[in-house]
């Protein structure tokens, strides 16, 4: 073997080792991002939750609010309230790959467990739309209560749960045949909603309370929180509630159904998702145009990151891979 | 006739309290004032003092309703505005309040003001942020005077003149 060939072989091996190291590194550092709709500037900020930096801003339609991440399709679905359409973002490229016109203002958006469908609350028409994530055609639409807002998917019961803001009700529908299974009267002005295992959580904005509904026996617990609760989620036997006019979140112990702590956020916190990789809460602040990062271990805020004007991100907005 | 107009506007307002459109509007403005943050905060947190710096607020009186504190503002037009104090935070120098009743071209109004330190100890920045909705709640077409632009212009007017008034009063003390 000539010296030249030996050198070439050495170079090749060196490159192979370097590329292996890179592959290894990318595996220990998983993709972990938040997609934050900025309603005041028609963009989505992509926040890297490992480095706590904003990677980029993606231009979308007019007044984006709702967001749903569909990991099986590598997509984020963004609902644009004023342009009445959806912006579909490819999560590998972080680019809008299509814009889907709707004849209504999309509010809440959620995907089912397999990700083959998304369900959208249609604000003005008092309907829920079911869309295929294959081509985003409307598969079905059905009437619900007045001004349907938050929407969530319950995997255990294969059910769609909807908060009807001006009807003060929560409705539970079958996710395949769209039949109404149950209607529950809750507090005044229910807006954000989530569901986990057998529980449904809904924020009663005008009552400064949340309702926790047990789907096994339909028992409802009402818990006092802060000013103007906007959304509520469950994570490991605790509920986390954004208090939009309290500028804080409430932590509720789900064993005792008591508030155990309030943590300050930015101004007008609205929505909330869990960063499971780093064990943190991510809260969007409409007033301060930012997200607040809260460590779940210490229950203390660790950072506030500027995202964009009127950050809202209504829905589960974190993508991990 | 006047009573009828009042009745209709009350009706519009009470309906609007029940519901609002999907997109909240935001006005956020700041002004730099040449007094210390402590001095600025003293005036900003005085919930009943709004008539000293907001020219549109002709008269203000404080009212206690149970635990809650309200200010009843008589506007230049003669209309009354009920505002409820939500919170004051001494550490963050932040005050929060909301309109609970009033004949104004916007609805579901809540706001906060924050006083922060300026570039030196004798300078402060007052920020006023308002969140509200247009009067018309339903699907477009939106009737004239009930749209986002009308609501925003009205609030912008209050915020701009209010901040200018605060600066003037604080710096003349």
Helices (H), chain A: 3-28
Q: Starting from the edge strand earliest in sequence, which strands make up the sheet with A248-253, in order?
A: A229-235, A238-243, A248-253, A258-264
Minimum Cα–Cα distance from B96: chain A residue: A245
Q: Give me the residue spans of the domains in chain B.
A: 24-172
- SS3 label, residue B164: helix
Contact present, A181 and A159 (Cβ < 8 Å): yes
B131 touching A (Cβ < 8 Å): yes
Q: Would you write out chain A's pLDDT as a tens digit for each of its 321 residues?
A: 667 777 777 777 777 777 666 666 555 679 999 999 999 999 999 999 999 999 999 999 999 999 999 999 999 999 999 999 999 999 999 999 999 999 999 999 999 999 999 999 998 899 999 999 999 999 999 999 999 999 999 999 999 999 999 999 999 999 999 999 999 999 999 999 999 999 999 999 999 999 999 999 999 999 999 999 999 999 999 999 999 999 999 999 999 999 999 999 999 999 999 999 999 999 999 999 999 999 999 999 999 999 999 999 999 999 999
B87 touching A (Cβ < 8 Å): yes
Contacts of B14 in chain A (CB under 8 A): none
Cα A250 from Cα A188, distance rounded (Å): 19
- SS3 label, residue B34: coil
ipTM here: 0.84
Note whether B98 contacts A107, CB cutoff 8 Å. no
How many CA atoms lie less than 13 Å away from A216 in the CB half-sphere?
4
Tell me the two tokens of residue B32: 């730099």
Tell me the two tokens of residue B100: 């609970």
Contact present, A268 and A277 (Cβ < 8 Å): no
Rounded to the nearest angstrom, the gap between the alpha carbon of residue B100 and the centroid of all alpha carbons in its chain is 11
- Extended strands (E) in chain B: 25-33, 57-65, 68-75, 80-89, 94-102, 107-117, 124-133
Note whether A65 contacts B139, CB cutoff 8 Å. no
Cα A101 from Cα A243, distance rounded (Å): 33
Contacts of A262 in chain B (CB under 8 A): none
Q: What are chain A's domains?
A: 31-320 (2.130.10.10)
DSSP-assigned letter for residue A92? T
What's the CATH number of domain B24-172, 3.30.200.20, 3.30.530.20, 3.40.50.300, 3.30.1160.10?
3.30.530.20
B160 touching A (Cβ < 8 Å): no
**CA–CA min distance B142, chain A (Å):** 13
Contact present, B114 and B93 (Cβ < 8 Å): yes
Strand partners, A184: A170
């Amino acid at each position: 073997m000539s010296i030249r060939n030996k050198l070439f072989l050495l170079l090749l091996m060196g490159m192979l080792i370097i590329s292996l190291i890179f592959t290894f590194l990318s595996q220990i550092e998983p993709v972990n991002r938040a997609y934050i709709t900025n309603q005041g500037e028609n963009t989505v900020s992509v926040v890297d939750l490992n480095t706590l930096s904003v990677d980029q801003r993606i231009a979308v339609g007019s007044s984006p609010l709702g967001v749903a991440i569909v990991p099986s399709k590598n997509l984020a679905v963004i609902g644009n309230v004023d342009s009445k359409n959806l912006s579909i973002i490819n999560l590998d490229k972080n680019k809008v790959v299509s814009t889907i016109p709707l004849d209504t203002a999309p509010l809440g958006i959620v995907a089912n467990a397999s990700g083959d469908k998304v369900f959208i609350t249609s604000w003005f028409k008092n309907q829920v739309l079911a869309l295929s994530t294959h081509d985003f055609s409307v598969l079905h639409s059905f009437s619900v209560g007045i001004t349907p807002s938050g929407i969530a998917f319950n995997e255990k019961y294969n059910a769609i749960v909807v908060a009807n803001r001006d009807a003060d009700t929560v409705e539970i529908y079958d996710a395949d045949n769209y039949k109404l299974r149950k209607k529950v009267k809750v507090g005044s002005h229910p807006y954000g909603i989530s569901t986990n295992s057998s529980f449904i959580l809904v924020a009663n904005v005008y009552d400064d309370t949340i309702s926790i509904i047990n789907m096994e026996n339909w028992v409802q617990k009402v818990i006092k929180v802060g000013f103007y609760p906007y959304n509520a989620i469950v994570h490991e036997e605790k509920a986390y509630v954004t208090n939009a006019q309290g500028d804080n979140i409430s932590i509720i112990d789900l064993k005792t159904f008591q508030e155990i702590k309030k943590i300050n956020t930015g101004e007008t916190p609205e929505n909330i998702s869990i960063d499971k990789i780093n064990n943190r809460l991510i809260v969007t602040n409409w007033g301060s145009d930012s997200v607040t990062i809260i460590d779940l271990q210490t229950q203390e805020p660790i950072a506030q990151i500027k995202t964009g004007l009127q950050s809202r991100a209504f829905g589960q907005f974190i993508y991990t891979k | 006739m006047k009573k009828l107009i009042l009745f209709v506007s009350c009706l519009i307002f009470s309906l609007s309290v029940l519901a609002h459109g999907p997109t909240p509007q935001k006005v956020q403005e700041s002004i730099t004032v040449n007094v210390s943050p402590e001095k600025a905060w003293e005036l900003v947190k005085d919930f009943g003092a709004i008539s000293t710096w907001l020219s549109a607020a002709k008269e203000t009186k404080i009212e206690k309703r149970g635990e809650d504190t309200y200010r009843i503002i008589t506007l230049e037009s003669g209309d009354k505005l009920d505002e409820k104090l939500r919170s004051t935070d001494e550490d963050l120098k932040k005050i929060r309040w909301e309109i609970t009743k009033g004949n104004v071209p916007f609805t579901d109004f809540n706001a906060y003001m924050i006083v922060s330190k300026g570039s030196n100890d004798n300078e402060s920045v007052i920020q006023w942020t308002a969140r509200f909705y247009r009067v018309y709640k339903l699907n477009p077409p939106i009737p004239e005077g009930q749209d986002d632009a009308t609501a925003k212009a009205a609030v912008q007017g209050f915020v701009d003149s209010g901040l200018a008034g605060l600066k003037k009063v604080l710096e003349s003390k």
